[in-house]
């Protein structure tokens, strides 16, 4: 006789959204959330967002760095189909002005290079009289970027519908530890409403190359690697959502623990298909969900070769079969389809059970891998030349610090009467919770305050290195620069921090964006 | 979906929560009870300050609601006394009702803990102030532990058109 769990596994693997049991639904059983309509998996191709093209230089109040590229982006409301069987969905997105007739969810992809500065104008064209969840006042945060405070998206630095704001992203070479940081993203960061606005679709990639990671597998240059390059270098944004039968997004305004969806999207399409050639691919995986942690595996047991995190490359490529990824984290990996027979179908699946906004079942070291939800199917079809190489070594080891750290700071992330605190304090944009000096080495400790909640903590301005996870050396997949770290139940993580280049006000916060909106955020001023 | 269960105001008037108190209005909702010695007294004091900062808006442009978690004790009469004590003006209504109705209303606003043990412990009750602008469909919430100025700013952001933030 089959067990309930067997039934669930089979149902979820085959079906998708509508067969999800109550525990996998968005309200954790609270009863407020409707069920999305059934949508056939693998009914459409994986969308690849257009690359943002240069615009003519424009007059700006900002100081323009020499040699800057100019871009103009519109923030718009559009109707787009996320599945062939679902009526169009009203979405918000970021669109390059040069490419007006293109999908804008996810936002168009910036492709940059270390040392190449950029001036970007974002024009807010959202409807001023918008009704429903989300607020059309915009704050653009380039997540993972080392940028001036006024270019970072402080949650109160908003611009209204009909207004624009210019951002200067210098992309200067920070130091040798960060040169390979290649997968950034940008998203909304509005005070109190980040979760609702991001859920509306406001997220896109910012890819960055360097002299080491050249972006051309055929021309690595003097110092470069030969990693798979475009069109075999593909960014994947994974998200969950709830849809109404009319195609509109459903967001539960009455729950505050973390919005989960019962429908799974990759690059804005429900469970798509990606036709791949028999060669190597580089993937940049971003967990853009509001509150869902995933653990990804391939249906045929094929391993991922992880090469990096959101902060840069690992020292050595690492074979993994399960990729645990918290909200806002990125994992870069290579899949080699060279020896996979023509016609093979391989599914990228989520294995991690999560019932509500608290986080998944299990803990960081032992996540509950008891479900199988398909996200994306790779259909192996044809061949293509492959000049790419997976190097034995991706970067030099991090140099030892010649001087001891000058400061230690401890932050505990806690629940308090239904809201969220850091060290017993709610977010206050007028209060400075830490004031690290530029270029000092500090040791920061993040501790999960308990209750079974998970918190992915993101620090703006500069990346960090994890020194200890629960008193031990971090697992190999976290031995790279990071700017978001996942705190599972009971976790305590110690990090080496070094803030660089820009003095000003910044934030660090939980990237369960509902927790962030409910005050689990601190301000730090780099001085 | 916000609950439309029957509640009673501090004057004993029977109301349907959504239809009579929320529909078409800008509202704030919090949970409290008059015998509470934990977070409630500070919350009441903060709401009283907020009420005065909002000037003549409460009762006109917006409505403040405090829902008791202790209906057995917090009868309309007890709530009237509490209103006096905290200087509640005409735009600030205290509400009571059956345990069942109160439970449904607070759950529909997300004011519960997913851990049943924590949720059953009244001393750990939700310290959120739910802010809603029903005509615009704009809802958010802030901790009552915020500084009053922060709560005032959040109320302002919920009340005003986006262009006036």
Q: What is the pLDDT of residues A323-362, one digit of tens each?
A: 999 999 999 999 999 999 999 999 999 999 999 999 999 9
Q: What is the mean pLDDT of residues B20-35?
A: 97
Query: Which chain B residue has the Cα nearest residue A250?
Result: B1
Mean pLDDT of A197-223: 93
Q: Average pLDDT over chain A, rounded to whole?
A: 93
Asked if B128 lies within 8 A of A428 by C-beta distance, the reply is no
Residues on chain A touching B139 (C-beta within 8 angstroms):
133, 253-254
Task: List all residues 6 or more positions away from A182 whose beta carbon is below 8 Å from its beta carbon.
Answer: A207, A208, A209, A210, A213, A284, A308, A312, A332
Judged by DSSP in three states, A461 sits in coil
Give mean pLDDT, residues A4-15. 38
- A6-15, A104-113, A258-267, B11-20, range with the lowest pLDDT: A6-15
Instruction: Compute the distance between CA of residue A277 and CA of residue A347 in angstroms, rounded to an integer.
Output: 15
What pLDDT score does A31 carry? Answer: 53
Residues of chain B whose beta carbon is less than 8 angstroms from a beta carbon of chain A are 1-2, 39, 107-115, 118, 124-128, 135-147, 150, 154, 157, 161-163, 165
pLDDT reading at B32 higher than 80: yes
In a mutational test of the B interface, the residue from A418, A421, A426, A513 whose CB has the highest number of chain B CBs within 10 Å is A418
**Average model confidence (pLDDT) for chain B?**
95
Q: How does pLDDT run across B109-142, given as a tens digit for each residue?
A: 999 998 899 999 888 889 999 999 999 999 999 9
Cα A324 from Cα A475, distance rounded (Å):
12
pLDDT number for residue A269? 98
CA atoms within 13 A on the CB side of B19: 7
By C-alpha distance, the chain A residue nearest B158 is A135
* A17 pLDDT above the threshold of 80: no
More confident residue, A396 or B102: B102
Concatenated DSSP letters of A400-428: PPSS--SEEEEEEEEEETTEEEETTB---
Q: How confident is the model at residue A10 (pLDDT cuts 50, 70, 90)?
A: very low
pLDDT of A5 over the 80 cut: no
Q: Read off the pLDDT of residues B140-149 as tens digits, 9 standing for 90 and up.
A: 999 999 999 9
- Report the pLDDT averaged over residues A238-250: 98
Output helix, strand, coil percentages for chain A, rounded to the nearest 5.
Answer: 5, 40, 55
- Give the residue among A251, A478, A155, A448 at the shortest CA–CA distance from B140: A251
pLDDT at A165: 98
CA-wise closest residue to A458 among A428, A422, A418: A422
Query: Measured between CA atoms, how close is B77 to chain A, in angstroms?
Result: 28
Question: Which residue in chain A has the smallest CA separation from B32?
Answer: A417
Residue A426 has pLDDT above 60, yes or no: yes
CATH topology of domain B21-160: Glutaredoxin (3.40.30)
- Position with higher pLDDT, A12 vs A132: A132
Q: What domains does chain A contain, in order, with CATH numbers?
A: 4-35+42-209 (2.60.40.420), 233-383 (2.60.40.420), 407-526 (2.60.40.420)
The pLDDT tens digits for A459-512 are: 999 999 999 999 999 999 999 999 999 999 999 999 999 999 999 999 999 999
Per domain, the residue ranges of chain B are 21-160
pLDDT at A21 over 50: no
Q: What is the mean pLDDT of residues B16-34?
A: 97
Q: From the candidates B27, B36, B105, B110, which should be mutated to test the interface with A, based on the most A CB atoms within 10 A?
A: B110
User: Looking at CA atoms only, how far is residue B75 from chain A in angstroms?
Assistant: 25
A248/B contact by beta carbon, under 8 A: no
pLDDT at A12 over 80: no
pLDDT bin (cut points 50, 70, 90) of residue A518 is very high
> Can you tell me the mean pLDDT for B13-19?
98
pLDDT at A180: 86
What is the reported pLDDT for A339?
97
pLDDT in tens, A276-330: 999 999 999 999 999 999 999 999 999 999 999 999 999 999 999 999 999 999 9
Q: Do B162 and A137 touch (CB under 8 A)?
A: yes
- B126 and A517 within 8 Å at the Cβ level: the answer is no
Inter-chain residue contact B163 with A253, CB threshold 8 Å: no
B135 CB neighbours in chain A (<8 A) are 131
Nearest-by-CA chain B residue for A358:
B114
What's the pTM? 0.94
- Rounded to an integer, what distance in angstroms lies between the CA atom of residue A9 and that of residue B63? 48
Q: Is A129 on the interface with B (CB under 8 A)?
A: yes
- pLDDT tops 80 at residue A7: no
pLDDT at B60 over 50: yes
Q: Which residues of chain A does B157 touch, with a Cβ-Cβ cutoff of 8 Å?
A: 135, 191-192
pLDDT for position A118: 97
Nearest to A516 by CA among A291, A204, A187: A291
Residue A339, class by beta-carbon neighbours within 10 Å (0-12 exposed, 13-18 middle, 19+ buried)?
exposed
Closest to A255 (Cβ–Cβ): which among B110, B136, B162?
B110
User: Taking CB atoms and an 8 Å cutoff, what residues of chain B touch A138?
Assistant: none
Beta carbons of B162 and A135 less than 8 Å apart: yes
pLDDT score at A179: 77
Residue % of chain A over a pLDDT of 70? 93
Query: Which residue in chain A has the smallest CA separation from B105?
Result: A254
pLDDT the model gives residue B38: 85
């Amino acid at each position: 006789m089959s067990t309930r769990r067997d039934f669930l596994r089979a149902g979820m693997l085959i079906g998708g959204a509508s067969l999800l049991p109550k525990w996998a639904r968005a309200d954790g059983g609270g009863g407020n959330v409707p069920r999305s309509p059934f949508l056939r998996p693998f009914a459409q191709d994986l969308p690849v967002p257009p690359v943002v093209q240069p615009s003519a230089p424009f007059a700006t109040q900002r100081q323009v760095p020499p040699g800057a590229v100019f871009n103009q982006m519109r923030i718009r409301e559009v109707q787009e189909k996320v599945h062939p069987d679902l009526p169009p969905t009203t979405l918000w997105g970021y669109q390059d002005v040069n490419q007006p007739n293109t999908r804008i969810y996810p936002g168009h992809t910036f492709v940059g290079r270390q040392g190449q500065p950029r001036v970007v104008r974002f024009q807010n064209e959202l409807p001023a009289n918008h009704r429903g969840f989300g607020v059309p006042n915009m704050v653009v945060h380039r997540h993972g970027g080392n940028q001036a405070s006024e270019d970072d998206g402080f949650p109160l630095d908003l611009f209204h519908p009909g207004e624009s704001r210019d951002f200067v992203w210098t992309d200067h070479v920070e130091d040798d530890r960060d040169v390979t940081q290649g997968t950034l993203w940008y998203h909304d960061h509005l005070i109190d409403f980040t979760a609702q606005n991001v859920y509306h679709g406001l997220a896109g990639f910012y890819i960055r190359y360097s002299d080491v990671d050249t972006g051309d597998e055929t021309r690595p240059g003097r110092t470069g690697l030969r990693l798979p390059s475009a069109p075999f270098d593909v960014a994947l944004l994974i998200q969950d959502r709830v849809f109404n039968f009319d195609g509109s997004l459903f967001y539960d305004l009455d729950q505050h623990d973390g919005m989960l969806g019962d429908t799974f999207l990759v690059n804005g399409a429900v469970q798509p298909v990606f036709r791949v050639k028999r060669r190597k691919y580089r993937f940049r995986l971003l967990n853009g969900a509001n509150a869902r942690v995933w653990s990804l595996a391939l249906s045929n047991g094929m391993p991922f070769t992880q090469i990096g995190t959101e902060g840069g490359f690992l020292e050595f490529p690492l074979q993994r079969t399960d990729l645990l990824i918290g909200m806002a984290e990125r994992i870069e990996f290579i899949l080699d389809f060279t020896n996979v027979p023509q016609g093979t179908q391989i599914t990228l699946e989520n294995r991690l059970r999560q019932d509500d906004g608290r986080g998944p079942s299990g803990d960081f070291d032992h996540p509950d891998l008891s479900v199988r939800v398909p996200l994306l199917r790779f259909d192996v079809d044809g061949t293509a030349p492959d000049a790419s190489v997976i190097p034995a070594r991706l970067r030099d080891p991090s140099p030892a610090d010649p001087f001891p750290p000058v400061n230690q700071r401890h932050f505990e992330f806690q629940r308090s009467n239904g809201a969220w605190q850091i060290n017993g304090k709610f977010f206050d944009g007028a209060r400075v919770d830490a004031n690290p000096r530029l270029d000092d080495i500090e040791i920061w400790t993040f501790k999960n305050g308990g209750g079974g909640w998970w918190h992915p903590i993101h620090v703006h301005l500069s990346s960090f290195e994890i020194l200890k996870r629960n008193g031990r050396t971090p697992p190999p997949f976290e031995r790279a620069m990071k700017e978001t770290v996942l705190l599972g139940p009971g976790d305590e993580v110690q990090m080496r921090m070094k803030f660089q280049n820009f003095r000003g006000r910044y934030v660090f916060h939980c990237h369960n964006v509902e927790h962030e909106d409910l005050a689990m955020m601190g301000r730090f001023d780099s001085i | 979906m916000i609950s439309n269960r029957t509640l009673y105001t501090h004057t004993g008037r029977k109301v349907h929560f959504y239809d009579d108190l929320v529909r078409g209005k800008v509202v704030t909702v919090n949970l409290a009870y008059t015998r509470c010695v934990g977070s409630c007294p500070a919350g009441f004091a903060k709401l009283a300050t907020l009420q005065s900062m909002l000037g003549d808006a409460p009762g006109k442009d917006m409505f403040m609601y405090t829902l008791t978690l202790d209906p057995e004790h917090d009868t309309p009469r007890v709530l009237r006394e509490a209103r006096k004590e905290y200087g509640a003006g005409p735009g600030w209504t205290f509400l009571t009702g059956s345990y069942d109705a109160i439970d449904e209303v607070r759950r529909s606003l997300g004011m519960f803990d997913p851990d049943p043990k924590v949720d059953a412990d009244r001393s750990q009750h939700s310290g959120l102030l739910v802010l809603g602008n029903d005509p615009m469909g704009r809802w958010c919430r802030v901790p009552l532990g915020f500084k009053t100025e922060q709560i005032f700013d959040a109320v302002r952001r919920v009340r005003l058109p986006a262009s006036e933030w």
